């Protein structure tokens, strides 16, 4: 198997583009690490806000979108309703625990929107508090059809920045979506436009400076490891994460767009609220060194 991967032709973008920092627009990058089957991609660190981002990166055109997300578009062909409880990283039980926690910050509980709704597990969990006032948005027609057919929840198909619903939401949730978009500032601003007066925005993203990622980067720096993840040796992989957030950079992005942070912590998919054990509380709530980062926010008044 290793020989097959090594001999496989790597994905090479048809076009490349050099970009400023997606969060602060500064142009002070420092090489952070190289990755890809041929080490053909660079992660750089912004000298201003600390974001890790791909630069240069594949041009964000249809060719790249098809290459990066073909497997996601096809995923709906292979899922069943029972998968809502079984899927490792997006199980219904996981989202039920998350929803039980974050609704404490939603004073109105008027309506909930899930951006990148996928299989609909978050929406199904949110119905406990919002009834039928839940809605999803996704780019996959098949995913949307799966949710509407099996869960009975409406899903808008399209890009979030073009989404103009007639009513506002008291909760907007985006889990592991933001790092895939080239225009994160527009998404944060548009979220504020769609929220009610007391509404909250919940964002889940990877934590590039989590302990595991830090250790892998150390191995990379001392040349014990070529790149941060062995999975990148698969030549067909594309850098679908246009950037890798950090605690510092997310604080910058939210403050820049007029949001205050009500609570933030890191977490694992097995413990989405980081309260199962004393160790989890230390690692994720005190030290903020977990693999993923959760931020519960609202627009400043």
pLDDT tens digits, 154-206: 999 999 999 999 999 999 999 999 999 999 999 999 999 999 999 999 999 99
Region for residue 25 given its phi and psi (left: phi exceeds 0; alpha: psi -120 to 50; beta: otherwise): left
pLDDT, tens only, 103-143: 999 999 999 999 999 989 999 999 999 999 999 999 999 99
Which residue, chain included where needed, has tokens 């997606």?
Answer: 22
Residue 133: closest CA among 196, 186, 83, 189:
196
Which structural domains are found in the chain, ordered by start?
Answer: 2-79+86-114+160-299 (3.40.50)
pTM of the model: 0.93
* pLDDT bracket for residue 83 (50, 70, 90): low
Residue 119: closest CA among 138, 97, 99:
138
Q: Under a CB-based contact definition with an 8 Å cutoff, are residues 76 and 145 in contact?
A: yes
CB atoms within 10 A of CB 6: 10
Q: Under a CB-based contact definition with an 8 Å cutoff, are residues 90 and 78 in contact?
A: no
Lowest mean pLDDT among 16-25, 98-107, 151-160, 221-230: 221-230
């Amino acid at each position: 198997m290793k020989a097959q991967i090594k001999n496989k032709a790597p994905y090479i973008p048809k076009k490349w583009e050099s970009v400023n920092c997606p969060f602060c627009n500064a142009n002070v990058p420092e090489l952070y690490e190289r990755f890809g089957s041929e080490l053909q991609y660079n992660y750089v660190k912004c000298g201003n806000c600390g974001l890790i981002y791909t630069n240069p990166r594949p041009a964000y055109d249809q060719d790249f979108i098809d290459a990066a997300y073909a497997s996601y578009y096809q995923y709906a062909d292979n899922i069943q309703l029972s998968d809502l409880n079984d899927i490792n990283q997006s199980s219904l039980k996981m989202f039920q625990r998350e929803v039980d926690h974050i609704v404490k910050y939603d004073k109105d509980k008027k309506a909930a929107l899930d951006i990148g709704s996928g299989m609909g597990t978050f929406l199904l969990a949110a119905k406990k508090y919002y009834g039928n006032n839940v809605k999803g948005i996704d780019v996959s027609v098949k995913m949307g059809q799966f949710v509407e057919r099996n869960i009975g929840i409406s899903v808008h198909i399209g890009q979030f920045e073009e989404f103009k619903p007639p009513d506002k939401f008291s909760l907007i949730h985006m889990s592991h979506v933001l790092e895939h978009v080239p225009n994160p500032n527009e998404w944060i601003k548009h979220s504020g436009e769609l929220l009610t007066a007391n509404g909250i925005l919940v964002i889940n993203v990877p934590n590039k400076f989590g302990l595991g990622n830090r250790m892998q980067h150390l191995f990379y720096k001392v040349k014990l490891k070529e790149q941060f993840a062995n999975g990148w040796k698969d030549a067909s992989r594309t850098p679908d994460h246009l950037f890798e957030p950090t605690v510092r950079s997310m604080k910058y992005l939210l403050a820049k767009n007029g949001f205050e942070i009500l609570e933030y912590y890191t977490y694992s998919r097995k413990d989405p609220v980081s309260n199962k054990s004393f160790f989890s509380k230390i690692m994720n709530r005190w030290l903020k060194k977990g693999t993923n980062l959760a931020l519960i926010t609202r627009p400043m008044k």
